[in-house]
Amino acid sequence: MADFLGMMKQAAQLQSKMQAMQEELGNVEVEGISGGGMVAVRMTAKMEVKAVKIDPSLMKAEDREILEDLLVTAHNDARRKAEIAMQEKMQALTGGLGLPPGLGLT
């Protein structure tokens, strides 16, 4: 019974740490870029887009499709970086506990 109570205490501590990590992820920002830096998307590790920057040279009606493609690419780059940041935080938190994949943080 003592082992079970110890496990429950550890689970409660892990849950508390995960909640703190969720808050911290909101403060971690990454930037995805495309078009050699002509388009940039900044987002948090919680996947909240904070800013989009577009080089003025892309603001032409005939370049609309190019701009749309660059926005998608920059967003995807930022999302990949945010996922990596989240994974690094999770690994630091769990300390190699070997939690199953897909244990959602959000």
What is the number of domains present in the chain? Answer: 1
pTM of the model: 0.64
How far apart CA 102 and CA 18 sit, in angstroms, is: 14
* 4 within some domain: no
| Tens-place pLDDT, residues 87-103 | 888 787 766 555 555 55
User: Tokens for 98?
Assistant: 């070997």
- Tell me which of 17 and 54 has the higher pLDDT: 54
Amino acid at position 27, single letter: N
**Domain span at residue 86?**
27-94
Q: Which residues pair with 52 in a beta bridge?
A: 41
CATH number, residue 85: 3.30.1310.10
What pLDDT, on a 0 to 100 scale, did the predictor assign at position 71?
A: 93
Q: Read off the pLDDT of residues 27-86 as tens digits, 9 standing for 90 and up.
A: 889 999 999 999 999 998 888 899 999 999 988 889 889 999 999 999 999 999 999 988
